Structure 1
Amino acid sequence: MPSHKKYQDVAPPANDAHQPRRTQEQRRSDAEARLLEAAQQIVAHKGWVGMTLGDVGIAAGYSRGLATHYFGSKPELLRALAAHIGENFKTMVSEAPNRGVGFHAVLEFIRIYFGRADDGWISTRALLILMAEGMTDGTEAGVNLAIYNKTVIGILEGYFEEAIMKKEVREDVDPAAAAVALLGTVRGVMLQSLLKNSEIDLAKVAAEVTSITIRAYSRRPQTWLALYAGRAHV
């Protein structure tokens, strides 16, 4: 049997002999979260094609059959994983300090995206791998990834709409198109950065993307450039 130690940075369940008794719903929720984190680790390191539900159970510190018990099948697990990654990112964006509104929120999105404290960029790696597979016909995670993608575009579109109403961004800017363009830019940068030996300086790229976004959309580019000089560095 192959070793799964490489993916076991999700700690095994703690001994709860001296802990308050949890409800069955709490235990199930905790187990599902651990299984999804383990699946994310595996997908990020070796992709999902060779992954089995047994791999996920073992990597999470449980039995080989627990992932099957909770998710039923690999397609269902992958759909749940896509939703899990999406919810985590949405939470991180919504709870970020100093996010602001309008164009401030647009520019802070860039900083947040490039400045995440994600050891090894595990969630980003897993998401990009799932999205690449999501372009194929009949993929297991494609539907959930499309839903998640539309949600993130919608968040950015709302920021641009606010910025236009606040007269921070030009009125001729299409919020939906601008949102797609910005999201595609940051994801494209990360795709390149995560390739082995890429040697991309994310701090400099974050500053450049911020500058490009200001020059492309702002009604007062020089004011915004002065305000955000150096602030986009990760």
Structure 2
Amino acid sequence: MTTTRRTQQQRRDQAEAALLGAAAELVVEQGVRSLTLARVGERAGYSRGLVTHHFGSKQVLLERLARATQTGFVPGLGGLSPGLDRLLRLIDGYVGALGGVGVLNRAFLLLWAEAATASELAPIFRERDEAFRADLREDVAAGIDDGTIRPDVEPGEVAIAVVGQLRGIGLQRLLDSKAVDTERLRRSVTEYWHRTLSRSHA
């Protein structure tokens, strides 16, 4: 019985991953306005009924796509305590990951940019950005507490600036990949934030 349930869950997870992948491909190729549950099902090789069963609506599909594309973008941070080291590793890892960004992450950046003018996307990406900023604020606050970050730094302002910089680099990479050398840039951007925040550089 347990084995059957696990197999059913595995099938469900596989189908959902395929549907999210298909949705991301359609967003990258044709934009969010062309996205429908029927087209996602057709691209993934499933019926529209299965897509509806998994997501229920286009809005829920977009929410799941936004969450899925952020999960695990910078691996190896889970075991680190909040603070300056985790913040700098996130920045370095994020810029480095943009060098090999896949279709899911390209879709996320395109949807994020489009959220400024698309009412169906705005609430999703406000929530995603706030979750990102909350993690960054936690790192800065922890760094202030442990003395590695200058006490005059404002965590909320740093969070806004870091999110803007990282997402902006990502969009530039999408527009002109040859102009954005992520391997060189990751070092300079990480060092900039280290100099800016570190108490030892004050």
Q: Under a length normalisation based on structure 1, what TM-score does the superposition of the two structures give?
A: 0.74
For the aligned residue pairs, the C-alpha RMSD in angstroms reads 2.6
Give the letter for the 1:40 counterpart.
Answer: A
CA deviations on 1:44-66 (whole Å, 9 max, x unpaired) are 33322112222211222323442
Identical aligned pairs, as a percentage?
35
Which structure would you say has the larger RCO, counting Cα contacts within 8 Å and 6 or more residues apart?
2
CA deviations on 1:152-204 (whole Å, 9 max, x unpaired) are 11111111111111111110000111111111111111111111454211111
Structure 2 SS opposite 1:126: helix
Residue in structure 2 matching 1:103, options 84, 89, 107: 84
Which one has a bigger Cα radius of gyration? 1
- Higher deviation after alignment, 43-52 or 198-207: 43-52
**CA–CA distance in 1 between the matches of 2:198 and 2:47?**
54
CA deviations on 1:45-102 (whole Å, 9 max, x unpaired) are 3322112222211222323442133323322321222232234448x46437xx5541
Structure 1 SS opposite 2:129: helix
Structure 2 counterparts to residues 126-141 of structure 1, below 5 A = 126-136=107-117, 138-139=119-120, 141=121
Structure 2 counterparts to residues 19-168 of structure 1, below 5 A = 21-22=4-5, 24-89=8-73, 92=75, 94-95=77-78, 99=80, 101-116=82-97, 119-136=100-117, 138-139=119-120, 141-168=121-148
| Equivalent residue number for residue 163 of structure 2 | 183
Residue in structure 2 matching 1:199, options 179, 186, 191: 179
The 8 Å contact of residues 83 and 145 in structure 1, kept in 2 or not, is answered as: no
| Equivalent residue number for residue 198 of structure 2 | 218
Q: Under a length normalisation based on structure 2, what TM-score does the superposition of the two structures give?
A: 0.84
The 8 Å contact of residues 99 and 182 in structure 2, kept in 1 or not, is answered as: no
For structure 2, list consecutive stretches of 5 or more residues without a partner in the other structure: none
**CA–CA distance in 1 between the matches of 2:165 and 2:115?**
19
Query: Which of the two has greater helix per residue?
Result: 2
Shift of 1:25: 4.9
Give the letter for the 1:111 counterpart.
Answer: D
Structure 2 SS opposite 1:116: helix
| Residue-pair matches, total | 199
**CA–CA distance in 2 between the matches of 1:59 and 1:118?**
27
User: Are residues 208 and 169 of structure 1, via their aligned partners in 2, closer, same or farther at CA, if it must alter by over 3 Å?
Assistant: same
User: Are residues 63 and 119 of structure 1, via their aligned partners in 2, closer, same or farther at CA, if it must alter by over 3 Å?
Assistant: farther
Structure 2 counterparts to residues 4-19 of structure 1, below 5 A = none
The 8 Å contact of residues 26 and 35 in structure 2, kept in 1 or not, is answered as: yes
The 8 Å contact of residues 93 and 112 in structure 1, kept in 2 or not, is answered as: no
**CA–CA distance in 2 between the matches of 1:145 and 1:78?**
10
**CA–CA distance in 2 between the matches of 1:138 and 1:182?**
25
The 8 Å contact of residues 98 and 173 in structure 2, kept in 1 or not, is answered as: no
Give the letter for the 1:63 counterpart.
Answer: S
Give the letter for the 2:112 counterpart.
Answer: M
**CA–CA distance in 2 between the matches of 1:187 and 1:137?**
18
User: Are residues 137 and 123 of structure 1, via their aligned partners in 2, closer, same or farther at CA, if it must alter by over 3 Å?
Assistant: closer
